Amino acid sequence: MADAQQDEFAELSYEDAREQLVAVVAKLEAGGVSLEESLALWERGEALAQRCEEWLDGARRRLDAARRQPADGDAAGADA
């Protein structure tokens, strides 16, 4: 993937990347495009899927970190 395209995907929010991925999949499923365009769409879809995976991995790390943090008042409120 070209550096410009990597930069483009790096700026996408999860929702934007997912929306674009859905559009790519729909276009591929509909057919009617040349082999060259299909390959370009496939590559774009792979890059978008990777971006979505990066967002989800980051969210998992944040959730795991939050779960490891003791909540204020946990010890006092645990038996209440």
The residue type of 29 is: E
How many whole angstroms separate alpha carbon 38 and alpha carbon 22? 15
Q: What pLDDT is attached to residue 7? A: 76
Tokens of 57: 């991995």
Comparing CA positions, the residue from 38, 20, 40, 17 lying closest to residue 29 is 38
Entry pTM? 0.74
State the pLDDT at residue 36.
98
pLDDT at 4: 65
Listed as ranges, residues in the chain with pLDDT below 50 are 1, 80
Q: State residue 29's pLDDT score.
A: 96
For residue 2, which amino acid is it? Answer: A
pLDDT at 3: 64
